Amino acid sequence: MNQKLEKFKQIIAEVTDLGRAEALLGWDQQVNMPKGGAEDRGNILETIAGISHKKFTSSETGELLEDLKLYAETLDPKSDDACLIKRMAHDYEKRTKVPSKWVEEFAKVTTISQGVWEEAKSENKFTLFQPHLEKVMELRREYADFFKPYDHVYDPLLDDFEPGLKTREVQDIFGKLRPQQVELLKAIAAKPMIDDSFLHISYADQGQWDFGVDVITRFGYDWNRGRQDKSVHPFTTGFGIGDIRITTRFDPDRAASALFSTMHEAGHAMYEQGVSETLRRTPLANGASMAVHESQSRMWENLVGRSKVFWKFFYPRLVKIFPQQLGNVSMENFYKGINKVEPSLIRVEADEATYNLHVMLRLELEIALLEGTLKVKDLPEAWNTRMKEYLGVVPPNDREGVLQDVHWSGGMIGYFPTYALGNLVSAQLWEKINQDIPNLESQIEQGKFDELLGWLHTKIHCHGAKFEPQTLVKEVTGSIITPEPYMRYLKSKYSEIYNL
């Protein structure tokens, strides 16, 4: 059996290598590739995706898995080998239902679609992107159909990002969360508006970059195994435990954009930098799910980066870099400014009290597109209508509306709910962390993050993708994903800021 296990691991290592090569080309596409390279890049990714899919779904892999599933039952269920076999059996069952031809076409279509989305966003022309999104949605419906019968057409896509989670479960969670967030928003809206005008003036890009680098270096981001670049949409990608890269972006109208996107992406990156070396060159050298991944990025961005104790240490440093902009702004006013609650157009710039509503809107639209109750051509109007209903604002153009996110161009349908779920998980973990590290706030106030990062490495990061998200969250916090800790966090924070 050891021989079969080693053979299986070799196949999985090669498939993992091919996936890392795809990721490297994807990183280059968003950071360095000239505009004219989209079609050629699409051809390359189509070829690699096809080779990877055929290798993983081969009869040899299937036969090895059949033998190894019985062997796994004799192992400790939490062992690396048992978890690898279980996870690969799940993935094999899914991927063998998807034809190689579909995988190749999807890789090419989404590569070209992403380039067109960038152009459409830049020119504010949804009609440029529309035919490409129609093709993407057609392919995603085809993908879901490979898994019939299903409880819901969205389930197979959601499972790609949240293994084991069902659409009904997400809808139930959001159904409990939404009225509580709306109630909080109404209470805040009745209070005087916070002045954050100092954030909407010019801040030099280099100063923002340098400050962000200083912050995440102190967090524990390992620059020997990472780097930061600029991109249209901030993201994190990895080519192995030893190479986890992040990007950020600069918005001339939003001074805090680069800083918080840098902290956010560093949270993702530190997760994968903390994966156990024993999982190297396997698909387990990743996050448990995108919600758990988001819990890490949102934790560092918001629970740490938007906290008062954080700025007690870092604000004097920021003022030194930007004395003209912040010299007359007190730390208290700065803290309130970066936590201002105001319904806004852009999801990635949304405050914590409104962010989840942006996500819920996208989930409803994705489900409607898949079910066929909404046509792509009608998406801008549907988007604007829901923005008015959910947040009371209407985008003046599609660039700030339906075209703002990159996800649909890449076919990442099923991804958006993980952002809100990640918020909930971050608060669940935060309550447990504060129980285990009673003086955490004092450490943060001194600019010390070693114990926090060490806790995360030990409890979350080292396990990689060994466990399903609900299993991991329950193991660490004692409960599956629930909105209560997040609402406690929001109510406590904003009651102080807005004197509720």
Q: Within 10 A of 140 (CB to CB), how many other CB atoms are there?
A: 23
Residue 479 has a pLDDT of: 95
| Domain span holding position 109 | 2-149
Residues 226 and 354 in one domain: yes
Lowest-pLDDT choice from 70-74, 296-300, 356-360: 70-74
Angle (CA) 18-86-290 rounded to 5° is 65
Task: Check pLDDT > 80 for residue 72.
Answer: yes
Domain-embedded: residue 156 = no
Tell me the average pLDDT of the chain.
94
Reference 113, options 144, 145, 146, 140; nearest CA is 140
Residues 315 and 423 in one domain: yes
What confidence tier does 6 reach under pLDDT thresholds 50, 70, 90? Answer: very high
Q: Are 400 and 345 in contact (CB under 8 A)?
A: yes
Residue-wise pLDDT tens digits, 170-222: 999 999 999 999 899 999 999 999 999 999 998 999 999 999 999 999 999 99
Residue 251 has a pLDDT of: 81
Q: Does 149 sit behind a cis peptide bond, omega within 30 degrees of 0 on the bond before it?
A: yes
Task: Check pLDDT > 80 for residue 169.
Answer: yes
Residues 351 and 298 in one domain: yes
Domain-embedded: residue 157 = no
Q: What's the CA gap between 256 and 200, in Å, rounded?
A: 9
Residues 418 and 471 in one domain: yes
Task: Check pLDDT > 80 for residue 46.
Answer: yes
Cα separation values, 294 from 38, 242, 289, 374, 455, Å: 29, 21, 9, 28, 17
* Phi and psi angles of residue 254, each rounded to the nearest 5 degrees, phi first: -135, 95
Residue 330 has a pLDDT of: 97
Residues 79 and 200 in one domain: no
Residues 210 and 318 in one domain: yes
Q: Are 494 and 184 in contact (CB under 8 A)?
A: yes
Q: Where among 119, 149, 179 does a domain terminate?
A: 149
Residues 413-428: what's their mean pLDDT?
Answer: 96
Residues 130 and 191 in one domain: no
Task: Check pLDDT > 80 for residue 255.
Answer: no
Domain-embedded: residue 244 = yes
Domain-embedded: residue 77 = yes
Q: Where among 149, 181, 206 does a domain terminate?
A: 149
Lowest-pLDDT choice from 135-149, 242-256, 260-274, 438-452: 242-256
Task: Check pLDDT > 80 for residue 1.
Answer: no
Task: Check pLDDT > 90 for residue 288.
Answer: yes
What confidence tier does 431 reach under pLDDT thresholds 50, 70, 90? Answer: very high
**Catalytically annotated residue among 265, 272, 352, 468:** 265
Residue 292 has a pLDDT of: 97
What confidence tier does 262 reach under pLDDT thresholds 50, 70, 90? Answer: very high
Domain-embedded: residue 376 = yes
Quick check: is 265 catalytic? yes
Residues 92 and 212 in one domain: no
Residue 348 has a pLDDT of: 83
Residues 136 and 193 in one domain: no
Residues 92-118: what's their mean pLDDT?
Answer: 91
Domain count, the chain: 2
Residue 415 has a pLDDT of: 94
Residue 232 has a pLDDT of: 80
Residue 35 has a pLDDT of: 84
Reference 418, options 298, 274, 267; nearest CA is 298
Residues 376-401: what's their mean pLDDT?
Answer: 95
Residues 115 and 249 in one domain: no
Q: Rg (Cα) of the chain, in Å, rounded?
A: 22
Q: Where among 88, 122, 149 does a domain terminate?
A: 149
Residue 253 has a pLDDT of: 73
Q: Are 64 and 7 in contact (CB under 8 A)?
A: yes
Q: Are 19 and 239 in contact (CB under 8 A)?
A: no
What confidence tier does 56 reach under pLDDT thresholds 50, 70, 90? Answer: very high
Residues 143 and 172 in one domain: no
Residue 361 has a pLDDT of: 95
Domain-embedded: residue 48 = yes
Residues 113-117: what's their mean pLDDT?
Answer: 93
Domain-embedded: residue 161 = no
Residues 89 and 228 in one domain: no
Task: Check pLDDT > 90 for residue 358.
Answer: yes
